[in-house]
Amino acid sequence: MVSTISGSMGSGVPAGVASSLRHPDRQIIVFVGDGGFMMTGAELATACQYGASIKIVVSDNSSYGTIRLHQEIQYPGRISGTQLMNPDFEKPGHAYGITSYVIEHSNDVKSVLDRASQTQPK
Protein backbone atom coordinates (compact mmCIF):
# COMPACT_ATOMS: atom_id res chain seq x y z
CA MET A 1 0.00 0.00 0.00
CA VAL A 2 1.57 3.24 -1.13
CA SER A 3 -0.39 5.59 1.14
CA THR A 4 1.01 4.19 4.39
CA ILE A 5 4.53 4.59 3.08
CA SER A 6 4.03 8.13 1.81
CA GLY A 7 1.86 9.25 4.72
CA SER A 8 -0.86 10.53 2.41
CA MET A 9 -4.59 10.10 2.89
CA GLY A 10 -7.14 9.62 0.16
CA SER A 11 -4.81 8.16 -2.42
CA GLY A 12 -6.74 4.90 -2.89
CA VAL A 13 -9.45 6.07 -5.28
CA PRO A 14 -7.18 8.10 -7.60
CA ALA A 15 -4.65 5.24 -7.61
CA GLY A 16 -7.43 2.80 -8.48
CA VAL A 17 -8.66 4.99 -11.34
CA ALA A 18 -5.12 5.36 -12.71
CA SER A 19 -4.48 1.63 -12.37
CA SER A 20 -7.67 0.81 -14.23
CA LEU A 21 -6.86 3.20 -17.05
CA ARG A 22 -3.31 1.83 -17.30
CA HIS A 23 -4.42 -1.82 -17.11
CA PRO A 24 -7.98 -1.98 -18.51
CA ASP A 25 -7.75 -5.78 -18.76
CA ARG A 26 -7.40 -6.18 -14.97
CA GLN A 27 -10.08 -6.01 -12.30
CA ILE A 28 -9.10 -3.21 -9.90
CA ILE A 29 -10.53 -3.26 -6.38
CA VAL A 30 -9.93 -0.36 -4.01
CA PHE A 31 -10.42 -0.71 -0.26
CA VAL A 32 -10.66 2.74 1.28
CA GLY A 33 -11.78 4.26 4.54
CA ASP A 34 -14.56 6.80 4.64
CA GLY A 35 -12.14 9.64 5.41
CA GLY A 36 -9.94 8.77 2.44
CA PHE A 37 -12.97 8.44 0.18
CA MET A 38 -14.33 11.81 1.34
CA MET A 39 -11.03 13.41 0.33
CA THR A 40 -11.04 12.10 -3.24
CA GLY A 41 -14.48 10.67 -3.94
CA ALA A 42 -14.94 13.19 -6.75
CA GLU A 43 -12.57 10.98 -8.73
CA LEU A 44 -15.71 8.99 -9.54
CA ALA A 45 -16.28 11.67 -12.20
CA THR A 46 -12.84 10.99 -13.70
CA ALA A 47 -13.46 7.24 -13.59
CA CYS A 48 -16.74 7.64 -15.48
CA GLN A 49 -15.40 10.19 -17.94
CA TYR A 50 -12.50 7.99 -19.01
CA GLY A 51 -14.14 4.58 -18.61
CA ALA A 52 -12.17 3.26 -15.65
CA SER A 53 -13.52 -0.06 -14.44
CA ILE A 54 -12.96 -0.21 -10.69
CA LYS A 55 -14.72 -1.58 -7.65
CA ILE A 56 -14.51 0.61 -4.55
CA VAL A 57 -15.21 -0.75 -1.09
CA VAL A 58 -15.70 2.05 1.45
CA SER A 59 -15.37 1.19 5.13
CA ASP A 60 -17.50 3.64 7.09
CA ASN A 61 -16.47 4.22 10.69
CA SER A 62 -17.34 7.96 10.62
CA SER A 63 -13.77 8.89 11.44
CA TYR A 64 -10.39 9.80 10.07
CA GLY A 65 -9.23 6.59 11.73
CA THR A 66 -5.48 6.84 11.15
CA ILE A 67 -5.31 10.41 12.42
CA ARG A 68 -7.40 9.50 15.43
CA LEU A 69 -5.12 6.53 16.18
CA HIS A 70 -2.07 8.82 16.19
CA GLN A 71 -3.90 11.32 18.42
CA GLU A 72 -4.85 8.59 20.89
CA ILE A 73 -1.25 7.35 21.05
CA GLN A 74 0.52 10.72 21.21
CA TYR A 75 -2.12 12.84 22.99
CA PRO A 76 -4.36 10.57 25.10
CA GLY A 77 -7.71 12.17 25.87
CA ARG A 78 -7.16 15.02 23.38
CA ILE A 79 -8.99 13.82 20.26
CA SER A 80 -9.79 16.64 17.85
CA GLY A 81 -11.28 16.99 14.38
CA THR A 82 -11.41 13.33 13.43
CA GLN A 83 -15.14 12.59 13.64
CA LEU A 84 -16.93 12.70 10.26
CA MET A 85 -20.49 13.47 9.20
CA ASN A 86 -20.77 11.10 6.25
CA PRO A 87 -23.23 11.03 3.37
CA ASP A 88 -25.05 7.97 2.15
CA PHE A 89 -22.10 6.50 0.24
CA GLU A 90 -24.39 4.68 -2.17
CA LYS A 91 -25.76 7.94 -3.60
CA PRO A 92 -22.59 9.39 -5.18
CA GLY A 93 -22.26 6.19 -7.20
CA HIS A 94 -25.86 6.46 -8.34
CA ALA A 95 -25.33 10.12 -9.25
CA TYR A 96 -22.66 9.02 -11.73
CA GLY A 97 -24.70 6.06 -12.99
CA ILE A 98 -22.55 3.56 -11.11
CA THR A 99 -24.23 0.48 -9.68
CA SER A 100 -23.69 0.71 -5.93
CA TYR A 101 -24.32 -1.59 -3.00
CA VAL A 102 -24.45 -1.23 0.77
CA ILE A 103 -23.33 -3.90 3.22
CA GLU A 104 -25.33 -3.40 6.40
CA HIS A 105 -24.33 -6.54 8.30
CA SER A 106 -21.27 -8.76 8.32
CA ASN A 107 -23.46 -11.69 7.21
CA ASP A 108 -24.09 -9.82 3.92
CA VAL A 109 -20.44 -9.34 2.91
CA LYS A 110 -20.10 -12.40 0.69
CA SER A 111 -23.42 -12.04 -1.12
CA VAL A 112 -22.98 -8.33 -1.79
CA LEU A 113 -19.38 -8.74 -2.97
CA ASP A 114 -20.46 -11.62 -5.21
CA ARG A 115 -23.15 -9.42 -6.81
CA ALA A 116 -20.72 -6.53 -7.19
CA SER A 117 -18.11 -8.73 -8.82
CA GLN A 118 -20.64 -9.67 -11.50
CA THR A 119 -21.53 -6.04 -12.25
CA GLN A 120 -20.11 -4.73 -15.51
CA PRO A 121 -19.32 -1.03 -15.99
CA LYS A 122 -21.74 1.05 -18.06
Flag whether pLDDT at 4 surpasses 60: no
CATH number at residue 72: 3.40.50.970
- Angle, helices 12-22/43-50, rounded to nearest 10 degrees: 10
Where is 36: in which H helix or E strand? helix 34-40
How many domains, the chain? 1
* Overall pTM surpassing 0.85 (yes/no): no
Report the chain's C-alpha Rg in angstroms: 15
Where is 32: in which H helix or E strand? strand 28-33
- Digit-coded pLDDT (tens) for 13-27: 999 999 999 999 999
Inter-residue contact 96 to 122 (CB < 8 Å): no
Range of the domain at 105: 2-118
